Amino acid sequence: MAFLLRKFQFWLILCLIGTFGCSGDRTSASVAPVTSGGAETTARKAQIVTTVGMLTDIVREVVGDRGEVIGLLSEGVDPHLYKPTREDVKRLTEADVIFYGGLMLEGRMEDSLARLKSGKPVVGVAESLDPMVLRKPPEFDGHFDPHVWMDVKLWSQCVDTVTKTMRDFDPDHATDFSSRAEAYQQKLVKLDEYVRMSLQSIPEQQRVLVTAHDAFGYFARAYGMEVKSVQGISTESEAGVADVNLLVDFLVEHKIGAIFVESSVSDKSLKAVIEGAGKRDWTVKIGGKVFSDAMGEAGTYEGTYIGMIDHNATTITRALGGQAPEGGFRSTVEKP
């Protein structure tokens, strides 16, 4: 029986490599296994694999030192275009628990993730949300918008999903998972309040967020902003001349003077917008870099979910004429 099991696992790895691709060129940087919240011990800890950084961060908050959380996508990596490597496939196959965003965030990779569900939890956290709270704009071709982390309250509900999964997987430490999640969610309540307060200080006619692709829909709905983008939900789409011209028309007509570059998306289309506005005697500047599908550099404040949202809200507020504290959320609401 043990021989047959090993043979099956080997066969599965080969099949997944064929599905994902065998190229040695990495789309994301290699991420060494990191033990959450403490030093490694000789005892084997649960191997928990995640996809996008925002998800990796909340899983680490819930798991603490009860597991080894491995994030596949590093900072600046676009999940819409992500192609796992052999090493990633091995990690996914050997993982005890897998968390992914879901709602087609990871594109074609989700079909392959579904094949790994036999015998272990493989959870798309956004798919646990009530469909009534999900955005389904007509331009998304029948799919839900997967960028739910842009609404802090919705992302807090995804923390509940992570917590329940870990409680079921490791009931001996269920109380620990719950207490860690509760403490983290209290911070998210304060973060949500800060984002709302800051953005409401922007003059109403200037509450327009212009970015490269359509990742801020939940952000706009939750915090009273209007969002415009050159591309659609996925960065696989290319902005055409007509898309650029329509956005230029909007900026000139509404006297919007700042647009925002995303850390994980090319700024090529936005440069075309700035150039087009200039030809019509309207100056548009880059209001700053914001994080959409990926967080900041590992080990930095912006490399956490809270830091990412704080950075976005503070940067947008200041660029569009609002008032944000000098140190943002961290210095005024969240205690160090």
Report pLDDT digits (tens) over 196-211: 999 999 999 999 999 8
Please name the residues in contact with 157: beta carbons below 8 A apart, sequence gap of 6 or more: 128, 129
- pLDDT > 70 in the chain, percent: 81
Tell me yes or no: is domain 194-332 CATH 3.30.450.20. Answer: no
**Overall residue count recorded for the chain in this entry:** 336
Position 243 scores a pLDDT of 79
Position 81 scores a pLDDT of 73
User: Per the structure block, which two tokens stand in for 173?
Assistant: 């430490």
Give which of 126, 176, 195, 123 is closest to 156, Cα–Cα.
126
Query: How does pLDDT run across 302-335, given as a tens digit for each residue?
Result: 999 999 999 999 999 999 999 999 899 998 655 4
Position 333 scores a pLDDT of 57
Residue 107 — φ and ψ, nearest 5°? 60, -135
What number is the average pLDDT over the span 102-123? 84
Domain ranges in the chain are 2-174, 194-332
* pLDDT tops 80 at residue 38: no
Using a 10 angstrom Cβ sphere, with 0-12 exposed, 13-18 middle and 19 or more buried, the burial of residue 107 is middle
* pLDDT tops 70 at residue 237: no
Going by pLDDT thresholds of 50, 70 and 90, the confidence category of residue 127 is very high
What number is the average pLDDT over the span 40-64? 88
* pLDDT tops 80 at residue 46: yes
Give which of 163, 155, 196 is closest to 182, Cα–Cα.
163
The average confidence (pLDDT) of the chain is: 83
* pLDDT tops 70 at residue 58: yes
Element (H, E) at 155: helix 152-169
Going by pLDDT thresholds of 50, 70 and 90, the confidence category of residue 86 is confident
Position 78 scores a pLDDT of 72
Position 153 scores a pLDDT of 98
Position 314 scores a pLDDT of 97
- State whether the Cα torsion 191-195-196-197 is positive or negative: positive
Position 332 scores a pLDDT of 67
Going by pLDDT thresholds of 50, 70 and 90, the confidence category of residue 266 is low
132 vs 143, residue with greater confidence: 132
* pLDDT tops 80 at residue 146: yes
* Number of Cβ within a 10 Å radius of residue 11: 10
Going by pLDDT thresholds of 50, 70 and 90, the confidence category of residue 229 is confident
Position 9 scores a pLDDT of 46
Task: Say if 2-174 and 194-332 have the same CATH topology.
Answer: yes
Distances (CA, A) of 42 to 39, 45, 71, 226: 10, 9, 22, 52
Residue 13 near residue 20, CB atoms below 8 Å = no
86 vs 317, residue with greater confidence: 317
Residue 37 — φ and ψ, nearest 5°? 75, 5
* Number of Cβ within a 10 Å radius of residue 143: 15
Sheet of strand 122-124: strand arrangement: 34-35, 67-71, 46-50, 97-100, 122-124
39 vs 144, residue with greater confidence: 144
**Most confident of the ranges 22-31, 209-218, 248-257:** 248-257
Answering whether pTM is above 0.85, one says: no
Going by pLDDT thresholds of 50, 70 and 90, the confidence category of residue 264 is low
Tell me yes or no: is domain 2-174 CATH 1.10.3720.10. Answer: no
Position 143 scores a pLDDT of 85
CA atoms of 329 and 185, how far apart (whole Å): 15
Distances (CA, A) of 229 to 73, 226, 239: 24, 10, 9
Position 79 scores a pLDDT of 78
Going by pLDDT thresholds of 50, 70 and 90, the confidence category of residue 13 is very low
